[in-house]
Structure 1
Amino acid sequence: MTTFDVVEICAGAGGQALGLDKAGFEHALAVELDENACNTLRANRSGWKIAEGDVADPSVWRPHDYQGVSLLAGGVPCPPFSIAGKQLGANDERDLFAWAVEQVAVVQPDALLLENVRGLSMPRFAGYRQHVLDRLVQLGYIAEWRLLQASDFGVPQLRPRFILVALKPDYAPYFHWPEPSKAPLTVGETLVDLMASGEWPGAQAWAKKANKIAPTIVGGSKKHGGADLGPTRAKRAWAEMGVDALGLADAPPTPGHPVDFAPKLTCQMVARIQGWSKDYPWEFTGRKTSRYRQIGNAFPPPVAHAVGSAILRALRQEGQPRHVETTEYDPVYKVLRSAEGFMTSERLMKAVALDDAAELERRIGLLSRDFEVEIESAGSKTAYKLGKFKAFVGQEDHGRHDLFLKHRARIS
């Protein structure tokens, strides 16, 4: 049988890794920055090669050594695109999305899989997404983005993930996005056995009250304090289900707790809500806060399993081929990229079918956050010229290096 190998970057504690493993991929390498997450990977898969350190540091691993693998995959850092953050995108030292895409030129895998938060799907990053698609076309790949809901794959949580899949032309027509597989259980149904494991008499009544799926689990980062279950809105949703979201418990409630007690969740319970279960067994190492961050920042294994299986079927050229539609995310970017020299606002608006000058300025403003945009004014006329992409793609003189070293202890 043919072996399908994967190199996984920014592997975290193994959510995507376990899903890809279940799909049938064999890990040639997993690269991860966080020591605790690496320890968890080693504890669960002792035979895997784990490289610990900055994924962009050539002393940690050499992409060229893995040329020709079946799949290059990763869950690159989310904060640059998170709605809850500043959405600095290409200007965030944690942004490795563009760098990961650039590794396709070196590794030349049959397929690429990158996942991130929903924020990357928003208009703020239209130019960034367009650049990624265009760059993959230059490298000989056909790429698509899709927003998938974890709850469509049995995960009892509102957790949208924005996913990029790119394949070589021989395989791309055979890739079909996975269809929703099953409805999730409620939080109560998912956790009732764990909540009752300490012989708390209120477990059954609590489970009936916790009759919804969970809000998004937020792992957070080392820049913030201890573990809790997310922002104010999430805490209110947890409270309605009878859960105290201000921190985590070390153990489930016991007979000494009142029947109407609002328990905190344990790390084991949070892992269950993220999709780890008897079908996706995994052990987490480290202290409680570290374990929670590992769990909360992960790609749910059932979703990774579904996407990985779809990619594997494409690599085997199974099923009916389809016509892959090319999506255009930012026509302003595309027109400016193709222009020779400066383009006046009038010409640009005509080219992209815009009749609102204010809307053009807004789009240029968004574009200029991730690209250098030169602006020339002559009387009442304004002209634009698209410059360099600001993101880190491996440049030795990029500001990412100094910022990374400065904030190294707080990056997760």
Structure 2
Amino acid sequence: MQSVELFGGAGGLALGAELAGFTPSIFVEWDRWACDTVRENQAAGFPLVSGWTVHESDVRDVDWTSINGPVDLVTGGPPCQPFSMGGKAQAADDRRDMFPAAAEVIRQLQPRAFLIENVKGLTRSAFANYYQLIQLRLQYPEVVARNGESWFDHLRRLQSEATTECYTGLHYNVFPTVVDAADYGVPQRRHRVFLVGFRSDIGAEWSFPSPTHSADALFYSQWVSGEYWERHRVPLKKRPEAPANVDTKRKQLLNTDPQALGDPWSTVRDALSGLPAPTSPSAQRFLNHTFQPGAKIYPGHTGSPLDQPAKTLKAGAHGVPGGENMLRDIDGSVRYFTVRESARLQTFPDTYELHGSWSEAMRQLGNAVPVRLAEIVAQSIATQLKRVDQQGNAGLNISQQLTEVS
């Protein structure tokens, strides 16, 4: 199945789509460093990116008529800074707002489905009207803004189209969902909003994949069964202190079927299993696994505990982002995550190399979609599209049989 990747960054979302059975024929990203990451992995023979045509450009400057055949899926994560808690939160007034550009690509390509990802901040009450505009714009891609029309007037016109029965243009059923990546096996607490749409004429019946992992299951494996510590061979004296509510929580979970809890959240320790310390001579056997000095704790930024999912990786090196891209060990000491460790927290393969300095590679990873989460969502879309195709083929076969009988 053919897909198109917009705002591709380091490739997390596109890699997940590739693993789910889609082939991104065009990969668009304006940042040279991120494009170099993909190009260097192509040169190194990394198989998942071999068929991607990299366009180092603005998505608004791409000639989409060059694509041959129908597009099954458009994926992309428009720049999050207009809606991020760490940004200026200017939404439509931020020149980096690329949701209109994404909707325009969907209008031109008319894919059977799309998968758009962004920060949870997009759903903040301050952005309520603009968030509604984004959803309606994706639902009705052909209802474009007029010259000189404000975004709020555009919203009012879209609302009018959504409530009329006369609209006959391109239409998508859009499903907005906020998720925590940790609930899907990613070793990181990363809250994101997904906007998944299916073209209304294909008859899709879809819902967002159910969570597979939970905090309660992690608690059970650590403080009820102890399986977590045994699996990692952590002696009692090297385990962290039990949480304050351990007795109450333990009693509660003892009366619960462990299987009903799902799988345990993946932790930093889980993610880094098998990686040598970055100061070890054997660290050089791993790509991007180089010690970065200078980590320190300061108020509000204490790093990620070893035996919990990591805090959200940030797209930066120093200041607030750098202060959180740290590992906090059992003894309270901290150090920066290496690029390879951060890539594991974002579930990138170990053989996928990030291009650039530590700060540049961390920026790419902080902006990326976890590969595992992308694959799970893209796989659910692929399954639905295949079901639609199978039903269509079954209908054709029945029609042929009736024709032969008559």
Q: SS at the partner of 1:230?
A: helix
Offset at residue 53 of structure 1 (A): 1.6
**C-alpha separation in 2, matches of 1:217 and 1:319:** 39
| Counterpart-to-counterpart distance in 1, 2:320 and 2:19 | 28
* Number of the residue aligned with 2:127: 125
Match for residue 300 of structure 1 among 370, 376, 384: 370
Match for 2:337 among 262, 265, 269? 265
Any conservation in 2 of the 1:15–1:304 contact (CA below 8 Å)? yes
In structure 2, the residue matched to 1:104 is 106
Alpha-carbon distance in 2 for matches of 1:110, 1:85: 33
The question of 1:276 aligning with 2:280 is answered no
Report the Cα distance in structure 1 between the residues aligned to 2:202 and 2:209, rounded to whole angstroms.
16
Matched, 1:26 2:23: yes
Q: TM-score, normalised by structure 1?
A: 0.63
Partner of 2:359: 289
Amino acid at match of 1:230: P
From 240, 265, 271, the counterpart of 1:184? 265
Match of 2:242 in 1: none
Give the residue type in structure 2 aligned to 1:33: W
Query: 1:16·1:298 contact (CA, 8 Å) conserved in 2?
Result: yes
Maintained 8 Å contact 1:42/1:48: no
Structure 2 counterpart of 1:150: 181
Query: How big is the shift at 1:99?
Result: 1.9
Cα distance in 1 for partners of 2:352, 2:320 equals 21
More helix per residue: 1 or 2?
Answer: 2
Distance in 2 of aligned mates of 1:151 and 1:310: 18
Superposition pairs for residues 208-223 of structure 1, below 5 Å? 210-220=306-316
Match of 1:6 in 2: 3
Aligned equivalents of 1:180 and 1:217: distance in 2? 21
Counterparts in 2 of 1:155-166, with a 5 A limit?
A: 155-166=186-197
- 185-194 vs 89-98, which deviates more? 185-194
Give the C-alpha shift of residue 94 in structure 1. Answer: 0.6
In the alignment, is the contact (CA less than 8 A) between 1:8 and 1:31 conserved in 2? yes
Residue 321 of structure 2: SS of its match in structure 1? coil
| Residue 282 of structure 1, CA deviation | 1.6
Structure 1: give runs of 5+ residues left out of the alignment.
201-208, 221-225, 244-258, 322-412
Which residue of 14, 21, 37 maps to 1:17? 14
Q: Identify if the C-alpha distance between structure 1 residues 72 and 196 changes in structure 2 by more than 3 Å, giving closer, same or farther.
A: same
The within-5 A match list for 1:214-253 is 214-220=310-316, 226-227=317-318, 230=321, 234=324, 238=326, 241-242=328-329
2: distance between equivalents of 1:125 and 1:64? 34
Q: Would the aligned equivalents of 1:174 and 1:319 in 2 still touch at CA under 8 Å?
A: no
Q: Secondary structure at the match of 1:317?
A: helix
- The root-mean-square deviation of aligned C-alpha atoms, in Å, is 2.8
SS in 1 for 2:313: coil
Deviation sequence 1:194-224 (CA, Å, 0-9, x none): 2446559xxxxxxxx721111110013xxxx
Q: TM-score, normalised to structure 2's length? A: 0.64
Distance 1:166 1:47 in 2: 25
Cα shift at 1:262: 3.5
TM-fit CA distance, 1:35? 0.8
Task: Give the superposition deviation at 1:48.
Answer: 1.6
CA distance, structure 1, for counterparts of residue 106 and residue 277 of structure 2: 48
Q: Give the unaligned 5+ runs of structure 2.
A: 42-48, 141-169, 214-263, 282-304, 392-406
* SS of corresponding position for 2:356: coil
Indicate how the Cα distance of structure 1 residues 195 and 212 shifts in structure 2: closer, same or farther if over 3 A, else same: farther
- SS of equivalent residue, structure 2 residue 195: strand
Aligned to 1:312: 382
